[in-house]
Amino acid sequence: MPITVARLEKVARGAIARLQVEHARAVCALCLWARCACSRTDCARGQGHSTERILQNAIAAGLCASGVPCQQEIVLPVLQDDTFVGFNRLDIVAIDQDARAGRSVLIIELKTLSGLGKSARIPQRVLAQCAGYRQCARAFFGADTRVTVYLLNVSVDARGAREVRAFAVPAPPPAKPAPPAKAPLYTIKRLLRTRTRARSKQALVWWQGFPRAEASWEPVRNLPPAVRKLAAAM
C-alpha cells in the first residue's frame, strides 16, 4: 500500500488547508482549525466528534484523490469464542489486494488530542484501542492479512499553531504462551499391601494428605526405587 506516515501528514495538511478556504467562517465545528473570528464558547472548544467527522471526510477525500482508495466508517463485528459481543467502527480503511503479497489493510485512526508530541506519548487507552482494531481486522479479513494502523492527530498547540502528526502504531508484542501446568506432586505416606494382577505387581498406596479410604493401586514399576524395594519385601 503506497502510503507512508509522511505522505499521510502531507495529505492531511492539504485537506485541512482546503477546509480553511471553503469553510473558514461558515462551520462552527471548524473554528479551532480554521482560526475564524467566532467568539462563541462552544466554537472555542471545537474538538469533538463533529470536528473529527468533518476532518475525516476531508482526509479520506484527499487520500482518494492522491491514488489511495479508501472507505470511511467501516463497521466490523467483534467476536469472542465465535460469539458476537459488539462492533468496532474504524475511521478510515484502505484495502490493497496483491496477487503475490496477499491482502493488506491500512487503518487510519483520527484523533484531536492536545499535547501529543511524540509517539511515546500516545495514551495507553488509544494504543489499546488500536490494538483492538488490528485484532478485529485480522479476525474479519483473515489471520494472514497484513494490518497497519496509523494514528493521525490534528490539534492546536499553546501558540495557536496547528499540528498535524501521524504515527505508525506498533503491533503489540505476541502474547507469551502460558507455562505448562505442573503435574501435582503426591507423596507416599504408606504401602498398605501388594497384589499381582495380569503378571504385574501392584501396591496399595496411601497418599499423604488424603484419607486412607482413597488409597489407590499403583504398578510397583511406577514407584520410586526405594518404595519398590519395600513393595518387593511385602
Catalogue all structural domains in the chain, each as residue range(s) with its CATH number.
5-169 (no CATH), 188-233 (2.40.50.40)
- 44: confidence class by pLDDT, cuts 50, 70, 90: very low
| 18 or 48, higher pLDDT | 18
- 157: confidence class by pLDDT, cuts 50, 70, 90: low
The pLDDT of residue 24: 52
The pLDDT of residue 34: 40
| 142 or 48, higher pLDDT | 142
Residue 194 and residue 234: Cα distance in Å, rounded? 7
Closest CA to 202 of 227, 225, 221, 187: 221
Q: Are 184 and 193 in contact (CB under 8 A)?
A: no
The pLDDT of residue 28: 41
Pinpoint the alpha helices (H) of the chain.
5-23, 31-34, 41-44, 49-65, 124-141, 225-233
The pLDDT of residue 155: 75
Residue 158 and residue 116: Cα distance in Å, rounded? 12
pTM as predicted: 0.64
